[in-house]
C-alpha cells in the first residue's frame, strides 16, 4: 500500500485510522451519504442520462473484513434500487468478488447486474494475474485500473472493456514511463473484444492529480461501450 492516496487522505488529513492490518478499524460513512444515490438516481432518470458513481473510493468493496462484510448487503440493495446509476466498483481483491456477489446477480438475461462495472487495480506485471481472475467474473463491464503505473504491464484484455492508465501523484511520487501508457493504448486499440477495449489516460506522474493529462500528445479519455440504456431501463 505504498503511497496509497486513500491512506494518506484518511490518516493525514482526516485524522482517521481506517487502513492497516487491524481490520476492525474500517469505518462506515454517514446515513446521509448513503441516501444520496437515490437523489442522483432520480436526477439521472429525469435527465434521461445515466450517471456514473465510483463506489467506495476510500476503501475496498470486496475486502474480507468485519465492517465491509456487515455493510455489503445493504450497499448491494442501494445499487439494485438505483438502476439509472452506473456503479464503478474497483478492488485489489478480485478473488473475493464471486463469493461476495448478491444472490440475484444472475437473475436476468445478462447474467449480471448491468448497472455495475467491476474492475481491479494492476500497478505492474507483478500482479497481472488479477486480470485473469476478473475475466472469470460475470459482469457487463470489466475494467482494469493501471494506476499508479509503476512498471511495464502487458494484459490479455479478453473480456476487459476499459483500461484506465495513470501515473502516481502526491509527495514522493514514482515516475511513470510514458512508453508504458503508449503500449497499453496500442494494445487496447488491437483488442479483439466485440465491444472493444476503451483507453482512458487519466494523468502523468506529478505532485498533484490531473497533471499532464495530454502527456501522450492529446487527451485520450474514452469510455466503454456496451448497452442501449433504453433497453436496460425497460427490462
The pLDDT value recorded for residue 235 is: 40
Per-block mean pLDDT, blocks of 10 residues, the chain (235 long):
48 48 72 94 95 92 94 97 97 98 95 96 98 96 97 97 97 96 98 92 97 98 73 46
pLDDT of 8: 47
Return the axis-axis angle of helices 66-80 and 31-47, rounded to nearest 10°. 30
Rounded distance between C-alpha atoms, residue 21 and residue 108, angstroms? 38
Report d(CA 26, CA 50) in Å as an integer.
30
Class of domain 5-234: alpha beta
Instruction: Please report, for the chain, the start and end positions of each structural domain, with discontinuous segments joined by +.
Output: 5-234
Amino acid at each position: 500500500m505504498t503511497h496509497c492516496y486513500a491512506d494518506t487522505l484518511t490518516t493525514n488529513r482526516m485524522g482517521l485510522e481506517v487502513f492497516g492490518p487491524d481490520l476492525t478499524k474500517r469505518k462506515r460513512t454517514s446515513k446521509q451519504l448513503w441516501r444520496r444515490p437515490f437523489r442522483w438516481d432520480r436526477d439521472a432518470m429525469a435527465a434521461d442520462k445515466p450517471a456514473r458513481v465510483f463506489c467506495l473510493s476510500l476503501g475496498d468493496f470486496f475486502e474480507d473484513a468485519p465492517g465491509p462484510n456487515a455493510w455489503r448487503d445493504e450497499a448491494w440493495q442501494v445499487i439494485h434500487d438505483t438502476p439509472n446509476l452506473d456503479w464503478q466498483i474497483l478492488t485489489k481483491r478480485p478473488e473475493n468478488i464471486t463469493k461476495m456477489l448478491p444472490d440475484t446477480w444472475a437473475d436476468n438475461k445478462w447474467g449480471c447486474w448491468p448497472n455495475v462495472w467491476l474492475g481491479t487495480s494492476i500497478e505492474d506485471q507483478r500482479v497481472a494475474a488479477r486480470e485473469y481472475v476478473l475475466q472469470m467474473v460475470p459482469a457487463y463491464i470489466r475494467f482494469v485500473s493501471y494506476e499508479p503505473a509503476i512498471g511495464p504491464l502487458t494484459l490479455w484484455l479478453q473480456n476487459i472493456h476499459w483500461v484506465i492508465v495513470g501515473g502516481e501523484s502526491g509527495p514522493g511520487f514514482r515516475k511513470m514511463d510514458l512508453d508504458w501508457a503508449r503500449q497499453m493504448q496500442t494494445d487496447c486499440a488491437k483488442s479483439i473484444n466485440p465491444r472493444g477495449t476503451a483507453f482512458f489516460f487519466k494523468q502523468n506522474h506529478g505532485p498533484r492529480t490531473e497533471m499532464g493529462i495530454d502527456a501522450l500528445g492529446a487527451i485520450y479519455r474514452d469510455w466503454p461501450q456496451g448497452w442501449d440504456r433504453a433497453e436496460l431501463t425497460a427490462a
